[in-house]
Structure 1
């Protein structure tokens, strides 16, 4: 059985709030609310003018983006401890992607109104939050640069590493199909399947009884 983290610990793990004091985290806790959504529920829609931060307490979601021609790209999966929507608290701009549940999911929600109330009560917290946001944007710049220069294998390896979390000393990804990985790296399912097959033959990866991918050892630098 999973242990659901309390709100204070959840906020403390978000870069935007990681430098806040315990009394400030306590105040945030009083402003947040929890909601449970069934599978295939759309939490936010790309282009929508909504302004709430969400923290995943339990469950799984996927992040999707569509271009002007309606082509959809799978950007990422979100699991327990992940978060989304934090930028809307600061800039008030439309959502840049759609987030949808993959299974029944429990979320912690902080609305823009609650965030504004927090800032009014603790104006000194704004500077450390802006510092954390700048760090997050630098990481995003590095990611964009890497994706523009990596080949298909490099992008697949990056997805595996970014999705993997340590469990009992082993790196394990959420359950992902080859088609889902292909959508995340902008390649064909056949190409991804060939790469994954080679990685299995090289004993770099395996799967467990939950059909999750296990990273057995450091992935090769090239394929």
Structure 2
């Protein structure tokens, strides 16, 4: 079911809109539509017409492409406050990827025309979008570098550190807990390895006391500094 964000507040807690005042947020809420997608649902499909900015209000989203041969290429995972579809705001090209809900996800959508108005009238917001895109480009470049020069253990460590930086919970003792929404198969695809290799590398890191694996969906980085040092050993 769709809702306007005058009923379901979407923008107030989104980082790129943090500089908007109450009046601007109220105007934005009138044009944003919020929709909840069940786990596994396609939010946008590769080849769809673009023209809107989509913001993850709650839940987790997988961004991927499917090759002509049917092979999946996972590009990134998104969480609350992240956005996608921004490239379609500046071109008429169709969506180059799929966006799939990894768990029940609440998505706020703003049409291109409204986004353009916001960016024209609020330079600080436009700058935040540029910075977010720059950060995303750096992540992509890092992934390409990892795939090209790092071995499988180094790529696994790099993945764990990225997940920790993005959504990990740090405790007073310095360890960081990561909740895994994506499957191990999906995480393996992201870093260009197999599920079996990923599992072996995780087990090795656990045996060495650097991480603790709790079930299938939780990993604790017991010593993040030592883990990072292991990546370059």
Question: TM-score, normalising length from structure 1?
Answer: 0.79
Greater relative CO (CA pairs within 8 A, separation 6+): 1
Say whether the 8 Å CA contact 1:61–1:77 is kept in structure 2: yes
Deviation, structure 1 residue 75: 2.8
Tell me whether 1:43 sits opposite 2:43 in the alignment: yes
Say whether the 8 Å CA contact 1:153–1:222 is kept in structure 2: no
Deviation, structure 1 residue 84: 1.7
Say whether the 8 Å CA contact 2:153–2:231 is kept in structure 1: no
Question: TM-score, normalising length from structure 2?
Answer: 0.76
Q: Which residue of 2 aligns with 1:213?
A: 219
Q: How many angstroms apart in 2 are the aligned matches of 1:182 and 1:161?
A: 15
Secondary structure in 2 matching 1:63: strand
Q: 1:26 to 1:150 in 2, by over 3 A?
A: farther
Q: How many angstroms apart in 2 are the aligned matches of 1:209 and 1:145?
A: 30
Q: 1:209 to 1:26 in 2, by over 3 A?
A: farther
Runs of 4+ with deviation above 6 angstroms: none
Say whether the 8 Å CA contact 1:36–1:107 is kept in structure 2: yes
Q: How many angstroms apart in 2 are the aligned matches of 1:134 and 1:60?
A: 19
Q: Which residue of 2 aligns with 1:118?
A: 118
Q: Which residue of 2 aligns with 1:146?
A: 145
Structure 1: 5+ residue stretches without partners: none
Within 5 Å, which residues of 2 pair with 1:1-223? 6-11=9-14, 13-14=15-16, 17=17, 20-22=19-21, 24-119=24-119, 122=121, 124=123, 128=127, 131-132=130-131, 135-136=134-135, 138-140=137-139, 142-147=141-146, 148-164=148-164, 165-169=167-171, 170-208=176-214, 211-218=217-224, 219=227, 220-222=230-232
Say whether the 8 Å CA contact 1:65–1:75 is kept in structure 2: yes
